[in-house]
Chain A
Amino acid sequence: MTKRIVILGGGTGGTLAANRLRRALDTECEITVVDRDDDHVYQPGLLFLPFGLAHEDDLVRSRRRQLREGIAYRDSGVDHVDVEANVVHLANGEVLGYDVLVIATGARLAPEETEGLTGAGWLSRTFSFYDLPGATALARALREFTGGRIVVNVVDLPIKCPVAPLEFCFLADWYFHERGIRDRVRLTYVTTLDGAFTTPVAARSLAGMLQEKGIELVTEFNTGEVDGEEGKLVSYDGREVEFDLAVVVPVHGGADCVERSWGLGDALGFVPTDEHTLQSEVRDNIFVIGDAAAVPTSKAGSVTHFEGEVLVRNVERYLAGQELDASFDGHTNCFVESGFGKALLIDFNYDTEPVPGHYPTSVGLPLLKESRLNHLGKLMFSWLYWHSLLPGRNLPGVSTAMPRAGKRFEVAQGGS
């Protein structure tokens, strides 16, 4: 009997899940992907755009064309899911029934949740580089910037790619050096966390790098208001940080269609999901991949890629009535661009924080340490994204489970 698989979202997770499922399942299964437009943005490129290191046209491709033959595509918004009736209501009025639903609707930027952020100065003095319009407007503003104070603020977690705001600081340092005006620019990183990063060993390394580059670090700052007119961030406990230009990473929530679906999302609109099987805790026939999932790991493309293998296996097993594979370990692998043609690499999972060493084995890329090789790795990622990750291929030498060889775990002892 024909089985219908509906995938909501045609971004990183939806695309790679569709392509992997199409290969794994016989043609009896219908696979349909739904997204509201045909513009697939390579989001890691948004970091480079403000510095003139990437161009808008190079970051966007057709969603539909990233899908294998035999996958149906619906160009429509998703209104909501009726989890009781196993149907999806599309914005164009169409109703899709499913045997298995895969939620891949990512995370939504919610700048309107922070008082003042989208008010005076939005996209002229206060910016976010987390979407194309924001990154493009910021590129213009940085070109015209001749001196003053720039603050980079992370309002709250979770956010996509939690290292990206730090990378932004490092690149800004490099950018103003290149322009010969670094001495006229004061750079400040303002975060809600109690350190430069979430985990202790990496937080220490990254804080050291900020210091070396002359970037100030303000911690435990819970932004209550962004005043684009006066040029200041105000925290809930009344502290203030002044700026001439602010780069604010807005809070994230789950997709609007998840929030509109009764019983599907948590308080922030992410879908409660088993962290090892990727089956939702809402219904047995709903699986979740990527940023949409409420699982305790980073919201990153690399995580989404590693999830792909387990998700597809489990959809297959679910359809066959077999026990699910509970092997997803939260594996995350991020290159952290540090400016001047270098980058760091961090690699971790649910149980292991990022530590120094080498990846994937003792003769591999250096971990938690700046190197040119890692920078090349970061640039390579763009090619791999379109040609390996989205088509749903495993990357050469990169395993789904986090490799332990080469890691210096002893460094984390005494950490949390």
Chain B
Amino acid sequence: MPTKLYAGTEVTVTDEGFFTDPGQWNEDMAPEIAREAGIGDLSARHWQVIEFMRTEFAEKGSGPTVRALGKTSGVSVKELYQLFPKGPAKLAARIAGIPKPRGCI
């Protein structure tokens, strides 16, 4: 497994950059991961989504999909795409230090 250095701490990640152990994450790492993923400074709205992702993961064991996020996080799907262009569920999961959301089959 590759490792990364965020906020001075070494963490293990998958090839796509998702944390393998969400317990290794802390809030200081988020801005660095965000920058690496091409997202500028994190606004309060970004944080709302990141915190929501972490809570959902803690409760359900997997991160929500974009549509579920749009229905439950208080941030609309449209805005989610503005905050995390390309793939809100994946990007937000990566920045929140949780595994890649399980896709559907």
A residues near B (Cβ < 8 Å) are: 113, 156-158, 162, 198-199, 220, 222, 224, 236-237, 251, 266-268, 296-298, 332
Contact = CB atoms under 8 A, between A and B. Distances in A.
B104 A158 contact: yes
B95 to A, nearest CB: 18
Contacts of A199: 105
A268 B105 contact: no
Contacts of B74: none
A222 B103 contact: no
B81 A157 contact: no
Contacts of B72: 267
B85 interface: yes
- In this complex, the member of A113, A157, A236, A296 whose beta carbon has the largest number of chain B beta carbons within 10 angstroms is A236
Nearest to B86: A237
B68 interface: yes
B105 A237 contact: no
A323 to B, nearest CB: 23
Interface residues of B, number: 17
A198 B71 contact: no
A267 B103 contact: no
A156 B66 contact: yes
Interface in B84-99: 85-87
B81 A198 contact: no
A39 B67 CA distance: 31
Contacts of A267: 64, 67-68, 71-72
A329 to B, nearest CB: 13
Given A222-B81, A224-B78, A237-B86, A296 B102 contact: yes
A236 B89 CA distance: 13
Contact of A251 (B64, B67, B87): B67
Contacts of B75: none
B81 A237 contact: yes
Contacts of A236: 77-78, 81
Given A198-B104, A199-B105, A156 B67 contact: yes
Contact of A198 (B77, B78, B86, B103): B103
A195 to B, nearest CB: 11
A139 B71 CA distance: 34
Interface string B15-37: 00000000000000000000000
B12 to A, nearest CB: 18
B104 A157 contact: yes
Contacts of A332: 105
Given A156-B66, A267-B68, 18 more contacts: A157-B103, A162-B104, A162-B105, A198-B104, A222-B66, A222-B87, A224-B78, A236-B78, A236-B81, A237-B81, A237-B85, A251-B67, A267-B67, A267-B72, A268-B67, A296-B102, A297-B105, A332-B105
Given A236-B77, A237-B86, A298 B71 contact: no
Contacts of B65: 156
B81 A224 contact: yes
Given A236-B78, A237-B81, A237-B86, A296 B105 contact: yes
A332 B71 CA distance: 29
Contacts of B102: 296
A408 to B, nearest CB: 20
Contacts of A266: 68
Contacts of B86: 220, 237
B71 to A, nearest CB: 5
Interface string B58-84: 000000111110011000011001000
Contacts of B71: 267-268
Nearest to A297: B105
Contacts of B68: 266-268
Contacts of B87: 220, 222
A297 B102 CA distance: 11
Contacts of A224: 77-78, 81
The CB with the most chain B CB atoms within 10 A, among A198, A199, A267, A296, is that of A267
A268 B65 CA distance: 10
A298 B67 contact: no
Contacts of A297: 105
B39 to A, nearest CB: 13
Nearest to A236: B81
A167 to B, nearest CB: 16
Contacts of A198: 103-105
24 contacts: A156-B66, A157-B105, A158-B104, A158-B105, A198-B103, A199-B105, A220-B87, A222-B81, A224-B78, A236-B77, A236-B78, A237-B81, A237-B85, A237-B86, A251-B67, A266-B68, A267-B68, A268-B67, A268-B68, A268-B71, A296-B104, A297-B105, A298-B105, A332-B105
In the complex, which of the residues B78, B102, B103, B104 has the most CB atoms of chain A within 10 Å of its own CB atom? B104
